[in-house]
Structure 1
Amino acid sequence: MKPIKESTCRTSCCQEPLSPSARLFQEQQLNCYIIAALGWKTSTINPSIVKEGLEQTLIKHPRFSSKLVAEDGKGRKLKWVRTKVNVNDHVIVPNLDRNMDSPDRFVEDYISNLSTIPMDNSKPLWEMHLLDVQTSENEAVVVFKLHHSMGDGASLISVLLACSRKTLDPKALPSLPVPKRAGSSCTASSGLWSLFLAMWTALRMIWNTAMDFILFAATILCLKDTNTPLKGTPGVELKPKRFVHRIVSMDDIKMVKNAMNTTINDVVMGVIQAGLSRYLNRKFGGDSKIERGGDDGHGKSDNGGDHSDGVIKVTFANLMAEESNIPKWGWGNWIGIIILPITISLENDPLDYVRRAKATIDRKKLSLKAVFTFRSVMFILKLFGTKAAAATTHRTFCNTTITFSNVVGPIEEISLFGHPIAYIAPTIYGTPHALTIHAQSYSNKMAVVLGVDPDVIPNPHELCDDLEESLKIIKDAVVERGLNAS
């Protein structure tokens, strides 16, 4: 197994100040953690092999072998300090009965209970739980828990992939989807037209960015979401969370994508809007003020129904650099925020959910809001301090309803220290939202992961059912109309 390259250090004790984003996640208002469940296909887990693999890979990464130390001894001016890691302090292997009743419920309760347990700052802020219990989806479950200040989703996926290998080729590193780039078709005769299009695109981007920035500022100051049954109460970030997931077919998502000439993100956001509308209508009916779309010849809604905003986390980094297996933008939290409107309504044409999502996302693509929000928060941090920047970010979350994130995973199945992985299901907790939705692609499947406040969404499995059923309805509509024909 090829280990992660261990960084060199010229002093006996390597030290590194926290990045601005990491300092935000250490503030009480944004004290966020990442939890990732990995389903394993092996019938048993070998803890000694896992620990040996961690020593050869993960522990050699500077962030996973550093602890937080306050320079002034009062919790201020935190820095990362390299330390000797005892792998036994980070790998938890509970003694479990593989023949227990309701193993799925046990694993769900176990992971949810982790959101109530603080981490020990005297050692690196990560831990790995090996749950050797068979569930309905896999033979065993491994759970990673780490503090969000250690890195963003792209950085952490890059490390996971650097520690793993292709299942069908144990010596090969996993590969990620390669984004398709549009080639240039400009010729000399179309030079003026191309110049006009470029100028028009630039003007639209400037306009969209300005409007988005005004919306971002208004959200911080006073603009709040419509109150829906999905919105959490003040202090929701401190309450215990419940985490569930549902595995759906990437082939179904890609079929809709190709048939409607959209992107995977467009389809996923369309399914989420359809699923949330379906859930609220079924659970609350008229109390949730859901409107049914009229038919104007295209099945589009005559009125928008309720609107909620989702905070979309956008990671700037390319996931893996070819040589070092470290993100090209550097390790850390390179996260921007996009406020994406989510319409809650019942559409006569299920494909309208995808069309609306595409129209919204296409507009957001012609905007630099994610970069501007990231730079704005960093500017506030430098000018007014970490607490002011954390308060600004916290208020943005409080005035919106949902956190959504989509992370791209490997295109083939991978094995971690010789254990084949069935799925990857990451999520976070610590944001002031009662509902977070994460989409994680892996091989030919996608995990849709929900993190919920059980007081707001007491049975998140029902919401998973609605999301899965919404994808089926949208896919069936594509098939019935013959849009999937090649």
Structure 2
Amino acid sequence: MEVGANVATPANRPLSVRVSSTEKGCADTSTDEDPMSPFGRVMEEMGVYIVLVMGLGTPVNLPVFRAGIETELIPRFPRFRSIQVMDGFKDGKPRWVQTTVNVDNHIVVPRMDTAAVASDPEKAVEDYVASLSTLPMDKRRPLWEFHFLDFPTSEATSTTVLRVHHSIGDGMSIMTLLMASSRSTDDPERLPAMPPLPRRTGAIYKQRPRPSLSSLGDCLAWVWSYFVLVWHTLVDVALLSATLLFLRDPPTMFTRLPDKGESPRRKRLVHQSLNLDDVKLIKTAMNCVPKTINDVLVGVASMALSQYYFRKSGNAKTMKIRLRSILPVNIRPLSSRQIYVTKVETGNQLSILMCPFHIAWHDDPLEYVRKAKRSIHKKKSSLEVIFSHVASNFLVKYFGAKIGAFVFRRFSTRTSIVLSNVLGPAEHITLCGHPIAFMAISACGQPQALIVHYLNYGSTVKVILAADDTQFPNCHELLEDFGNSIRLIKDAAGLKTLKTSIEIE
């Protein structure tokens, strides 16, 4: 299926509609109907999409890739063969109802401007992906599509773009689907290796066994841990409530500029590879929580945004601004990542928390990581994630998805950015007969002007920015600040490690 160079979906595709009970004739109602999750209903109401750009190591072999979609992806993921039915049920809740899938309706091969591709293939891919960020999808078909761009770029021989409606699932469910449907590039006979299980710490994961009464110190520490838990939770819930009512971040260049409508803005997706070993070196030097690099990645983001801010604003470097980011949190049990061979998790199993970050100038680059570490440690001593999850489900269940979407927009427009980390395969994979050189995931349709994603893939960490195309015309400069920040923090961490080893000797 071919389309024009500046159009991401065929011109004869109908616009996005809600499927009602009278249109269920196209659905296979012999299968069980699956209720939409509360978070999925909010994403449907807001029109949020996940965009996954994959660089391929070979030219596109469309018949082979199409066969892989039909035999590997669709059978493993019920959402890829289901449509949204919005009414006609006794309880009034929308359902996923399975239907017959014509794979050709979900494959797009655009006709590109050959001169633009020859002049700057990276920009041609960026422009095409940006065009997808404002286009609706036809809800009379399953809400996913593959776009194939068969020309080389600096990182890949060809490119495919998977666009999925966020109501289908979250980033983790999409990644587990790809891993379950792919093979290791090094050994095509086996599935790709999963990343090691992260060590989850904090109030919602760690059990607090009651200490022996014979030890006064242990008893006091046990009581104090619950006092800290209650205090941090009350503070976080109060801040959530204040944000919903009146509290907002101070306006900066990262704040979404006001407009008259709620229509999605065009987002440009740019990405850069960071060395995973560099991130691990910083983690070790800073004594961060084992098996997780979130502290380091939040610190890198804080430093990069600070560098960009002071360079573009010209403000004095003595200024300090406290902003907040929305962090989506995967609430699945850790073991679910290890059983993807037999079961791919469907739906959205996410909660959110609001994490502070600072725009400030520090002579010591490690200070950004220290501040991030302290902020995240406080969040781990709080039940904010559980409260957000329970409260959002309650709102959608009793007041509907429109109220849930209104609340989510309030949080989104009163904070500055979205910051997320998605775990990918621990080694390179081959998907549908094509080796994947890189992956870059992000989202569009959310109110924020800037979304920052990190994606682990093999020995690299991709930093991906989805930036408002008009508000950040120089988003590549911001992307370069992430690369500069990781280098400066790594050099400072290496110097710290060297000094420590000399003192020990």
TM-score (normalizing by structure 2): 0.85
User: Match of 1:144?
Assistant: 162
The number of residues matched between the two structures is 457
Tell me how large the CA RMSD over aligned residues is: 2.6
The residue number in structure 1 matching 2:377 is 362
Partner of 1:158: 176
- The 8 Å contact of residues 439 and 448 in structure 1, kept in 2 or not, is answered as yes
Within the candidate set 273, 277, 302, 2:302 is matched to 273
Q: Which runs of 5+ in 2 are unaligned?
A: 1-26
User: What are the within-5 Å matches in structure 2 for residues 440-479 of structure 1?
Assistant: 440-479=455-494
Shift of 1:483: 4.4
- Shifted more, 208-217 versus 11-20: the winner is 11-20
Structure 1 residues 180 and 377: CA distance shift in structure 2, 3 A: closer
2: distance between equivalents of 1:123 and 1:181? 38
**Alpha-carbon deviations, 1:368-408, whole Å to 9, x = none?**
10111111111122232222222111111111110111111
Q: Equivalent of 1:178, from 184, 194, 197?
A: 197
Preserved contact between residue 28 and residue 100 of structure 2 (Cα < 8 Å): no
Q: Is the 8 A contact 1:155 1:326 kept in 2?
A: no
Structure 2 residue aligned with 1:334 = 349
Q: Deviations over 1:226-273 (max 9, x none)?
A: 100111123476211111111111111111111111141111111101
8 Å CA contact 1:158, 1:326 repeated in 2: no
Give the unaligned 5+ runs of structure 1: 1-8, 293-303
Letter in 1 for 2:163: K
**1:67-216, aligned counterparts within 5 Å?**
67-72=83-88, 77-95=93-111, 100-174=118-192, 175-180=194-199, 193-216=217-240
1:251–1:15 Cα change, 3 Å: same
Report the Cα distance in structure 1 between the residues aligned to 2:101 and 2:268, rounded to whole angstroms: 30
Q: Which amino acid aligns with 1:322?
A: I
1:52-67 equivalence runs, <5 A: 52-60=67-75, 61-67=77-83
Counterpart in the other structure of 1:424: 439
Deviations 1:54-112 (Å, cap 9, x if unpaired)?
Answer: 11121112110001223349xx8532111111111112223555972210010000100
Partner of 2:281: 255
Correspondence for 2:6: none
Q: 1:116 to 1:383 in 2, by over 3 A?
A: closer
Alignment deviations for residues 156-187 of structure 1 (CA, whole Å, 9 cap, x no partner): 11111111111112122222222247999x99
Q: Give the aligned residue type for 1:198.
A: W
Q: Deviations over 1:18-71 (max 9, x none)?
A: 2211111121xx2211101011122x1111111111111211121100012233
Contact 1:260 1:483 (8 Å CA) reproduced: no
Shift of 1:11: 5.8
Contact 1:259 1:483 in 2 (8 A): no
Give the aligned partner of residue 320 of structure 1: 337
Contact 2:87-2:94 within 8 A present in 1 as well:
yes
1:436 to 448, 451, 469: 451
Distance 1:72 1:268, change over 3 A: same
Alpha carbons 1:404, 1:436 under 8 Å: kept: yes
**Residue 447 to residue 188, structure 1, CA distance change in 2 (3 Å):** same
SS in 2 for 1:85: coil
Cα offsets for 1:267-317 (capped at 9, x unmatched): 11111010001001111111xxx543xxxxxxxxxxx70121101111111
SS of the counterpart of 2:363? coil
TM-score, normalised on structure 1? 0.88
Larger mean CA deviation between 463-472 and 228-237 belongs to 228-237
**1:137 counterpart letter in structure 2:** E
Q: Which residue of 1 aligns with 2:16?
A: none
Residue type of the alignment partner of 2:161: V
Match of residue 295 from structure 1: none
| Counterpart secondary structure, 1:93 | strand
For residues 299-310 of structure 1, what are the structure 2 equivalents within 5 Å? 305-310=320-325
